[in-house]
Amino acid sequence: MAQPEPIRPLFILADNLSQMGKSIVEFTQVDYNKELGSALISAKNDAEAISVFLSEFKDSPETLRSYSKEIERLLLWCIHVAKVNISSLRRDHLLEYQSFLKHPTPKKLWCAPSARRQNKDGSINENWRPFVKGLGNSSINKALTILDSFFNYLVQSNYLIGNPLAVDRRRKKRNKSKNKIIDRYLELDEINAVLQSLSEHLINDDKQKFQVIRARYIVLLLFYTGLRIAEAANNRMGNFLQRENNWFLRVTGKGKKVREIPVPDDLLNALGEFRFNIGLPSSVPKFREKTPLIPMQNLKQPISTRRIDQILRWAFDLGSAQFEPDEPRKASKLRAASAHWLRHSYVTYLLESGAPLKVAQENAGHSDVGTTMHYRHVAQTDRHAATRNLSLSAKNKKPAEY
């Protein structure tokens, strides 16, 4: 029995765009969806069309990485499963692909623990796989949103006639819930448990002093600013600005939008403590200082978004031990948490502290105030207190007030 063809990476990030065409199989099918002779981009085939699309994001490395990953997964599925090219994908193909994202099969060919694409000698890492495991619903929705943008681009540039995801996209817009409530955030005792665990770890393991000090700083930085991890990775200490004795952090965020986040005193103190502990000469940054906002140990290079997420997952795992065995729910919650939960925590407690909705929207960089309004769980505490005495027991019944 013939062995299935191994799944190999296509290398379609910005620095490999020119090589991509050599890696993609062009199937001998009628490209039923291709708009012949009127394309607005210089692309003779799907590989070149993908290259042009991805090159639009060369100046946005995190977006480029996300888009490349999802397009590569679709291409690998086209090559190894559907045996069609991009120009021949139909609506039913995308429905099949959506199911595949949830359960990539055969699992041993498609899924494996995270590994680098290439070995140190430049050869392909045979242990690399496109997936660690099947995707959850939110990850699938994100993948389809990216692919929807990709197909829309090809349609608008007259490379394709139609978007095979368009029907699904319209249906989602009609049914999109307006009643979403954010629940992936950390409560204050959970964040304090993480900080306490890091302090204890520092005492017990002096060899990891820099890593632990930096992890503590990252937790405080993201909680007190609500930064996305890409924003934290791509900005510098010199982005801290002082104006009339008030401090702000100026960041370039999603969609290249610039915003200034007011810096609370507690964060300014945490920043000063971090800078002192890593050997920087002043407690506050100098004007236009080049030190990365979250530096490597050499203090000259920033760490990656992936590394930030790894550090925080490690810190959250340490913190989970504070709740074992008495509060297993909180322990399991911390083990499930990711960096983005601190951003949700920021908006949650900013609103709970009495900040107006507009302030929270601007600080978080939400383009739509409707996104900020998803944090309606902030109002649940008062409603719970008002409902707490509801009981079948007569002794808890209070006389009506008129």
Residue-wise pLDDT for 356-383, tens only, equals 878 888 898 887 777 777 776 665 666 6
Q: What pLDDT score does 402 carry?
A: 42
**What pLDDT sits at residue 357?**
79
Place of tokens 């502990």: 277
7: in domain: no
The pLDDT assigned to 31 comes to 60
Predicted confidence at residue 398, as pLDDT, reads 55
The C-alpha atoms of residue 192 and residue 197 are separated, in whole angstroms, by 9
Q: What tens digit of pLDDT does each residue of 166-179 get?
A: 865 444 544 444 55
Structure tokens at 228: 């996305």
For residue 191, the model assigns a pLDDT of 96
Residues 161 and 194 in one domain: no
66 part of a folded domain: yes
| Same structural domain, 168 and 304 | no
- Cα atoms found within 13 Å of the Cα of residue 103, Cβ hemisphere only: 3
Residues 363 and 322 in one domain: yes
Mean pLDDT to the nearest integer, 87-108: 92
Same domain assignment for residues 204 and 101: no
Weakest mean pLDDT among 14-28, 138-152, 322-336: 14-28
Say whether pLDDT at 401 is over 80: no
Percent of the chain with pLDDT over 90: 48
Q: What is the mean pLDDT of the chain?
A: 83
Q: Which residue has the higher pLDDT, 46 or 232?
A: 232
In a domain, 1, yes or no: no
* CA 124 centroid distance within chain: 27
Dist. CA 348–CA 369, nearest whole Å:
14
Q: Which pLDDT belongs to residue 18?
A: 45
Which band of pLDDT confidence, cut at 50, 70 and 90, is reported for residue 326? very high
Crossing angle of helices 305-320 and 328-336, rounded to 10°: 170
**How many domains does the chain contain in total?**
2
394 located within any domain: no
Asked whether the predicted pLDDT for residue 238 surpasses 50, the reply is yes
Q: What is the CA radius of gyration of the chain?
A: 25
Interatomic CA distance for residues 350 and 253, integer angstroms = 19
User: Considering the domain boundaries, does residue 391 fall inside one?
Assistant: no
Confidence of residue 386 (pLDDT cuts 50, 70, 90): low
- HSE-CB of 50 using CA atoms within 13 angstroms: 32
Compute how many other C-beta atoms are within 10 angstroms of the C-beta atom of residue 90: 14
The type of residue at 158 is: N
Residue that wins the pLDDT comparison between 402 and 94:
94
Q: Which whole number is the average pLDDT over 37-47?
A: 77
Phi, psi of 232 (to 5 degrees): -65, -35
Q: Is residue 399 part of a domain?
A: no
pLDDT of the residue at 105? 92
- Structural domain that includes position 275: 188-384
Based on the fold, state whether residues 119 and 59 are members of the same structural domain.
yes
Q: Which of 130, 146, 175 is the last residue of a domain?
A: 175
User: Of the residues 109, 142, 175, which one is the last residue of a structural domain?
Assistant: 175
> pLDDT at position 367, please?
76
Same domain, 331 and 192: yes
> Is 37 in the same domain as 58?
yes
Q: What is the mean pLDDT of residues 90-100?
A: 93
Mind listing the pLDDT tens digit for each residue in 272-311?
999 999 999 999 999 999 999 999 999 999 999 999 999 9
Domain boundary among 119, 144, 175: 175
59: pLDDT strictly greater than 90: no
Residue 225 lies in a domain: yes
pLDDT bin (cut points 50, 70, 90) of residue 240 is very high
Residues 159 and 213 in one domain: no
Q: State phi, psi for 101 to the nearest 5 degrees.
A: -60, -35
> What is the pLDDT at residue 38?
63
Cα gap 345→224, rounded to integer Å: 9
Flag whether pLDDT at 316 surpasses 80.
yes
Q: Does residue 4 fall inside a structural domain?
A: no
For residue 315, what is the domain's CATH number?
1.10.443.10
Residues 6 or more apart from 71 whose CB is under 8 A from it? 12, 50, 53, 54, 146, 147, 150
On whether both 231 and 332 belong to a single domain, the answer is: yes
256 with 277, same domain: the answer is yes
Instruction: For residue 91, give the amino acid letter.
Output: R
Same domain, 355 and 216: yes
- With bands split at pLDDT 50, 70 and 90, how would you rate the model's confidence at 48? confident
- Which range has the top average pLDDT, 16-25, 76-85, 118-127, 191-200? 191-200
Q: Which of 7-16, 115-124, 176-185, 383-392 has the highest mean pLDDT?
A: 115-124
Residue 216: is it exposed, middle or buried by C-beta count within 10 angstroms (0-12/13-18/19+)?
Answer: buried
pLDDT of residue 22: 45
What tokens were used for 218? Answer: 């990252």
Give the pLDDT band (50/70/90) at residue 253.
confident
Residues 145 and 216 in one domain: no
